[in-house]
Chain A
């Protein structure tokens, strides 16, 4: 055992961590604590005189069929959009890594969508995919009624998945490309000399080495799709048609801010938080086991 490096001065040590702790407390523990308190009370919109109601808010949430619908659509959305964005980002990253012509431009440009604000992305997708007026409306002139996210729930779900995946592709691309480029080139060349084709090299060599990065973007994407999809849903579908895209985080917004039922929204936030924590634990527990860090 080497000599342990410690601060002789406890005061400096504490002073150094206090700002960090204060930040975490103000922006995480305090609001969470407040939400937890509201979840067990009935809070009038303007405040003042809230009453303790125990588990009633949670009972209301769990007895609402529309809540289960929103959990279901959130899961579908999370899996769908994550699959789309990671697989597409992986494809792009593999191409750029192979240094196809113009790859320097692509490397730079693919990141842009992530820099756009979600509502801007949503607006663009809404216009492009509008069934009567958008570019995609051409489909409907050949196959009437084939595409209508305003009345068909599946179309609407596909549309917000696409919008969110498009936005996340750039983010995933950067991480996956960095992962690919950090691999030892000599190994790759050796494999090529041994006669492994491009697909074979991807399957047996690049993907396994990329596993830690893939695992990381998987966790980030799933979490993001649960807690950060609000902007797109609000602009593109507004939760409709008939609650087909009423994601959990959007339902929290509509119940809390539009409906002014802060307690019901607080209870749902707590459930969403627990769900995301649980999902992350599951991922670390079961998926990470199969990941080999080098």
Chain B
């Protein structure tokens, strides 16, 4: 009996100590991010900057080892009621979170805590991607990028060109010349990532990927990309591959597209502007290189490209204190100095107009280290986003990407004809959409 009484007493005492300690300690809340490697370090650094900037709250930040892992872990944690207050979710996970019922809409948090966030200050291309169909913001845009064409100026100089290609036809002619002249082992290196060829290509050509305005208008959308110019684009890629002008570059072949570009074996690659810093720091010293907007087919009116990257979601079921901390954190990272800090530390773009204008005035884009990144802003803001170019809102889009990827693999390795592969990808993608629609029966996209 005495032993039990002792333990009760000590538990009480411990409780007292810990509550009194809590009264002085900062209020803690959890923040999970998906990025890894160099970019993951930047995420952790951003957290430290917030914690150092004030003493009332403490963000406890944890990397989850990848965008997909961050989403998987958040779902598992939510089911066990152990989820974080804020989580970084990539573009393709947006639909899952909109429909999850597990989140607190950003607009709600802004209202409750009188946050300073000015939605109008965000570039429309950025905010529209994450907004609901009614234009409400449910998550906070964070690290954002878009795709560009990277080209090796030394290779281009050998065929007498100083500028990067503007049209697809020009691009293909250039790399054919480079390859024919033996100036590079490969004119164009690509992998099976669908983001550049399917999503960005369709946006800049104002082509739909799916019906119902790319899915924004309802879960009953159907894929249509096998009938658009995208199919011709892939057939042209296959032709380049068969001619030996283009080559497949994945970690399985030994070199990723970035590695093949930076070591000088490929003259052009398509990649995110987020990798601008990586290319600058890893490219063979002395190499002249540059970026241009993704090329469009001749006779096409160019449209804005899509934003990629991730946004920050606030999860449901947290305490008032934790939400107060989350509001302070999100206000902090949306402030102009922090929005400007991000492009300095990475290749991501400034997401607010204020920050972009300040950076331009301060000469950021004149600095040779960063020169060229303004092209990403031109690409993203080329036209105001319309119903099709604002983004893609399809259920289980990660799986659809995987289906397209495996069908492209089949096409590019000669197992299937390109059109058949794309037809199959659309048919399989539509099955995924129908299953998703059935799983969320009775729910509509906000």
Contact = CB atoms under 8 A, between A and B. Distances in A.
A101 interface: no
Given A47-B79, A241-B413, A260 B251 contact: no
Contacts of A156: 252
A258 B399 contact: yes
A254 interface: yes
Given A45-B96, A150-B248, A131 B253 contact: yes
Given A60-B435, A242-B410, A134 B254 contact: yes
A53 B439 CA distance: 10
A261 B313 CA distance: 21
Contacts of B162: none
A164 interface: no
B438 A46 contact: no
B75 A46 contact: yes
Interface residues of B, number: 39
Given A131-B253, A151-B248, A255-B399, A45 B406 contact: no
Give the interface SS of chain B, mostly helix, strand, loop or mixed.
helix
B446 to A, nearest CB: 15
A48 B435 CA distance: 17
Nearest to B68: A258
Contact of B435 (A131, A236, A241, A261): A261
Interface in B232-275: 248, 250-255
A242 B79 CA distance: 34
B252 A261 contact: no
Nearest to B410: A242
A259 B192 CA distance: 18
B102 interface: yes
Interface string A115-155: 00000000000100011111001000000000011111100
A161 to B, nearest CB: 16
A243 B252 CA distance: 14
| Most B-side CB within 10 Å, residue of A126, A130, A242, A255 | A242
Interface string B421-446: 00000001001100100111100000
Contact of B402 (A134, A259, A263): A259
Interface in B99-132: 99-102
B382 interface: no
B399 A261 contact: yes
Nearest to B414: A151
A259 B399 contact: yes
A46 B254 contact: no
